[in-house]
Structure 1
């Protein structure tokens, strides 16, 4: 993992910065930060970028900077808003790179780690936004376009009197609705589409082939170059709309990665326990209870280094 840090790592670095600048910061927090910093090259790269931004903060009036950080401590998702403003103001080299997450930070609609949102669009369509989702809505006379920068949405399209196509655009390609209910999830370098009603057409951005039709009860994953084989829609794939995470015989490592979407900070799973199996339905709005119950059903323990950093380890 020597490449540019992803949004989750950058968010963790911003969280550490806020905690370390808190008047209540203690030695234990500082030691935990040092452990996190040296745990991965991506962590070090993310922290180097935060330090570069700190140089920009030095040119901001002190009272203004402290006010912003105080807001971030009250509502941690404000950290990303602060970073986006600083990027736009002074880190021009970041803005020039397509793969970095500034588009997500500056999106018109965004949700935090413990937030879901329901949108009713001008045409009557409904969009459910999962946690850590960012998008822009671009309706004009020719099309109804959702630009999904990150995260996951569930779309219920409405009939349009102007008969404009309804399209969800991601970094990997486009999904065109054919009078339908469907989900779109942005993965790392890939997009996954699941269809609940009717059908959609999927086109990879750099593919020269015809669009692939995906019917109700099916799902497909694609990158910029190609579209994978169609498979059955995973059970419980949209349970998040009702505040649930449903899993059936998942690896614990995969479960923790998914649960991490709904928690602020960092949640890790030790290699020794990643292959344990887990099934059940879990409330994503109460991840603390989910973690507490893991040790009752599996031979693991949850160790909290700080409020925003937890590790699942062998019992």
Structure 2
């Protein structure tokens, strides 16, 4: 079995397993799975890994197999459980547990898709977690640290003076609060920071000795090596806290990708319409209505292969 399967492909295979074993499988869903399976050699390789697991389950005690996967439901936590087992079949489970995607599965604080959460921290700070976010909180007598593995968070540090530094760590570096309200999002290859109050210091992992100060109304992205040019903070950048996705002249492809964070299953955008422009404020807790309304403002239609697989296509 090739070991080059990416995490998204394995996650898709895990998602299909959950959907095909939730007790409500239809002929349409089975055809959609077949289409996915045959559309890429990587998909076939990932599903072969699922079949390897099935062979192993047949040798497990019946109760253990059922508690592991046999009664899986179409929920994010079940997909993550299966995904971790698929990684294990690849022979890298004990090493991979130290990598960010797998550490995220073990994080103390996690949200699934269509889930947001607010936390009051021990020091009185307020923390909001966006959908599909994973983080650990580490407060002690000398420091206040948050490790963000994936997703997005918004924090309002406590107003009471506290000598302990408040630092958010990501795979790309760290963000130190300077009495502030700010958000941090872990992107696929960068970290994005937005400052809504006061200021922060951004330190790339490879150049911690060269902090970059970010003031209120500014945002920046950075990776392990460098900090990009500071930009003006766009309106509505933290609208997700109020359950909204606010966009101004976005590409439809980017909009669909962002909306997909709040919707279970697969949401695709045909390349032929990805460049269309879209603006407005959309409720992320009702993505079905958002999709229904797209065709009223843009020359597109939504095609559903299953309840959990939708594609935005030319009208």
CA distance in 2, matches of 1:307, 1:265: 8
Aligned-residue offset at 1:5: 2.1
Query: In the alignment, which residue of structure 2 is the partner of 1:78?
Result: 77
Pick closer, same or farther for the CA change 1:224–1:313 going to 2, 3 Å. same
Q: CA deviation at 1:291?
A: 0.6
| 1:101-153 deviations in Å (ceiling 9; x for gaps) | 21111110100101000011111111100000000111122210101010000
What is the DSSP-based 3-state SS (H/G/I as helix, E as strand, rest coil) of the residue aligned with 1:25? coil
* Secondary structure, aligned partner of 1:271: coil
Contact 1:177 1:201 in 2 (8 A): yes
- TM-score by structure 1 length? 0.90
Q: Which moved more, 1:20-29 or 1:107-116?
A: 20-29
Call closer, same or farther: CA 1:154–1:52 in 2, change over 3 Å: farther
> What is the CA distance between 1:213 and its match in structure 2?
0.4
Match of 1:187 in 2: 187
Match of 1:21 in 2: 21
Equivalent position of 1:155 in the other structure: 155
Task: Tell me the residue number matched to 1:294.
Answer: 294
Q: How many angstroms apart in 1 are the aligned matches of 2:107 and 2:56?
A: 22
Q: TM-score, normalised to structure 2's length?
A: 0.90
Paired position in structure 1 for 2:62: 62
Between the aligned partners of 2:254 and 2:87, the Cα distance in structure 1 is: 35
In 2, distance between residues paired with 1:252 and 1:32?
Answer: 24
> C-alpha distance in 1, partners of 2:82/2:68?
10
Q: Does 1:262 align with 2:262?
A: yes
Contact 2:18–2:79 (CA under 8 A) maintained in structure 1: no
User: Is the partner of 1:122 in helix, strand or coil?
Assistant: coil
Give the 3 Å change call, closer, same or farther, for CA 56–193 of structure 1 in structure 2: farther
Larger CA deviation: 10-19 vs 165-174: 10-19
Q: CA deviation at 1:226?
A: 1.0
Q: How does 1:97-246 map to 2 (within 5 A)?
A: 97=96, 98-99=98-99, 101-159=101-159, 162-207=162-207, 209-246=209-246
Structure 1, 157-166 or 77-86: larger mean CA deviation: 77-86
CA distance in 2, matches of 1:189, 1:117: 25
Q: State how far apart, in whole Å, the 2-side matches of 1:55 and 1:70 are.
A: 13
Distance across 1 between alignment mates of 2:25 and 2:282 = 32
C-alpha deviation, 1:249, in angstroms = 1.0
Structure 2: unaligned runs, 5 residues or longer: none
Matches of 2:127 and 2:61, distance apart in 1: 40
Q: Which residue of 1 aligns with 2:35?
A: 35
Q: Which runs of 5+ in 1 are unaligned?
A: none
Contact 1:5 1:45 in 2 (8 A): no
